Amino acid sequence: MQEKYGGRVDLEYIDVNDDPRLDDYPEVKKYLDDYKTPLPIIAFDSEPVMAGALSYPYLVAELTKRGIRPEGENGQ
């Protein structure tokens, strides 16, 4: 993602078992508290959008929907 999108995206892995940064994501914590949501939980701008799988095509589609395109596309 970093190679394709450069500084347009910031990816962050947070271990839900012991990373204190999880407190910065209360919307994600809600899903963890129900003990039914599968991991991983994927969030954009702290908003959970999918769980249980990591799909590159889905991530690209979600970025495109948010107006974020790879470097070099559409004059960027």
Strand bridging mode 47-51 / 41-44: antiparallel
36-66: pLDDT as tens digits: 889 999 988 888 989 998 899 999 999 999 9
75 vs 2: which has the higher pLDDT: 2
8 A C-beta contact, residue 51 and residue 38: yes
Q: For the ranges 3-7, 41-45, 70-74, which has the lowest average pLDDT?
A: 70-74
- pLDDT at position 71 over 90: no
Confidence of residue 74 (pLDDT cuts 50, 70, 90): low
Provide the pLDDT for residue 39.
92
Average of per-residue pLDDT across 21-29: 90
